[in-house]
Amino acid sequence: MQSQTIAVVTGGSAGIGRAVLERFVRAGARGVNLARRPSGLPGVVDLAVDLADPAWENDLPPRLLPLLGGTGPLCLVHNAATLREDTATNLDAASLRAVLELNVVAPAALNRLLDARLVPGSSIIYIGSTLSEIGVPGRASYVTSKHAIVGLMRATCQDLVGRGVTTVAVCPGFTDTEMLRAHLAHDAARLDAARQRSTFGRLIDPDEIADVVAFCARTPVLDGAVLHANLGQKSS
Ligand SMILES: NC(=O)c1ccc[n+]([C@@H]2O[C@H](COP(=O)([O-])OP(=O)(O)OC[C@H]3O[C@@H](n4cnc5c(N)ncnc54)[C@H](OP(=O)(O)O)[C@@H]3O)[C@@H](O)[C@H]2O)c1
């Protein structure tokens, strides 16, 4: 039986998720991308799935589970997320449900689906955000979902006691991806302002977050930790 690590990454088609997949495959793991678009990475199996549509729970298992044979550790990375502009008092219920579906419910459902495959040495890494522990105006559903991810990680840590599975919430700061650029409306001045929010005066490269994720996945002493990776984000 194969003892190779398998990395299953949601949203591995772009940004941080793609960098994470690339990092694992370079280290000799098998990679599976769960996203609507392919990753285009050699050595990665792309399974097209819309994790915001609960129908995936019926459609995905027959395509995913046969890929997970072998006895090697599984690294499950909950990365896919959506960011909308809304406030705590104008939040539309349907919109909040849609954000929670992708950002929180899909990770929980994937945990349930893959529970039996979490052999000792496996890991579940949640991609949080600086906004997992603080609020900002105008991002109510995102802030809520990113706080919830930390709750789910902490519950994972307590519920998997004795299983030899490491779980960590990795919380990036301003990282140079489609999500950040779209969020800042591709506006040069706003991008520059984001750069100046770090003590290094630049954006984080997705590969830097991928390195942190890979480190967490093989470091059991971090089990239950919330790890900020934000290039020294300034508080004001
Ligand atoms: N960039 C930042 O500054 C920053 C800061 C803090 C936290 N984060 C977190 O980092 C994670 C990755 O963000 P990113 O910046 O790398 O974003 P990104 O470049 O926009 O990538 C988002 C990924 O999520 C996938 N995705 C979105 N909707 C999906 C859906 N309905 N079903 C399946 N996959 C879906 C996308 O794939 P498809 O479009 O192909 O489906 C894409 O691969 C997120 O959890 C985000 O909250 C990012």
pLDDT tens, position by position, 193-206: 999 999 999 999 99
Distance 81 CA to ligand 1 centre (A): 5
Q: CA distances (Å), 113 to each of 65, 132, 190, 207, in order? A: 9, 25, 40, 28
Residue having the nearest C-alpha atom to atom 6 of ligand 1? 129
103 lines ligand 1 (CB under 6 A): no
Whether 144 is in a domain gets the answer yes
Q: Are the CB atoms for 17 and 4 separated by under 8 Å?
A: no
Helix orientation angle between 15-26 and 206-217, rounded to the nearest 10 degrees:
50
178 lines ligand 1 (CB under 6 A): yes
Whether 233 is in a domain gets the answer no
Specify the length of the chain in residues.
236
Number of domains in the chain: 1
Position in ligand 1 atom list of the atom nearest CA 10: 34
Q: Are the CB atoms for 172 and 127 separated by under 8 Å?
A: yes
Distance 155 CA to ligand 1 centre (A): 23
Provide the domain limits for residue 125: 6-227
Whether 63 is in a domain gets the answer yes
Position in ligand 1 atom list of the atom nearest CA 175: 3
21 lines ligand 1 (CB under 6 A): no
Whether 82 is in a domain gets the answer yes
- b (16+ CB within 10 A) / e for 73-111: bbbbbbbbbbbbebeeeeeeeeebebbbbbbbbbbebbb
- Residue showing tokens 């105006």: 137
Q: Are the CB atoms for 20 and 213 separated by under 8 Å?
A: yes
Whether 232 is in a domain gets the answer no
Residue having the nearest C-alpha atom to atom 1 of ligand 1? 175
Q: Are the CB atoms for 80 and 35 separated by under 8 Å?
A: yes
CATH code: domain of residue 201: 3.40.50.720
User: What's the pLDDT at 65?
Assistant: 98
Whether 130 is in a domain gets the answer yes
Residue having the nearest C-alpha atom to atom 41 of ligand 1? 36
Distance 18 CA to ligand 1 centre (A): 10
Q: CA distances (Å), 171 to each of 44, 49, 89, 95, 216, in order? A: 25, 24, 26, 23, 12
Please check the confidence at residue 192 and state whether its pLDDT lies above 80: yes
35 lines ligand 1 (CB under 6 A): yes
Q: What is the mean pLDDT of residues 55-73?
A: 96
Name residue 10's beta-bridge partners.
34
User: What's the pLDDT at 136?
Assistant: 95
Distance 2 CA to ligand 1 centre (A): 30
In this structure, which amino acid lies at residue 30?
R
Whether 235 is in a domain gets the answer no
Give the CA dihedral 11, 1, 156, 104, nearest 10 degrees.
Answer: 20
- Residue showing tokens 């941080």: 16
Could you tell me the strand order of the sheet in which 44-48 lies? 44-48, 30-35, 6-10, 74-78, 123-127, 166-172, 225-229
Whether 1 is in a domain gets the answer no
52 lines ligand 1 (CB under 6 A): yes
Q: What is the mean pLDDT of residues 80-101?
A: 97
Share of the chain above pLDDT 90, in %: 96
Work out the pLDDT band at 177, boundaries 50, 70, 90: very high
Q: What is the rounded CA–CA span in Å between residue 119 and residue 212?
A: 22
User: What's the pLDDT at 77?
Assistant: 99
User: What's the pLDDT at 185?
Assistant: 84
Q: Select from 108, 94, 92, 93 the least CA-distant residue to 149.
A: 108
Position in ligand 1 atom list of the atom nearest CA 80: 24
Please check the confidence at residue 128 and state whether its pLDDT lies above 70: yes
- Residue showing tokens 């779209």: 182
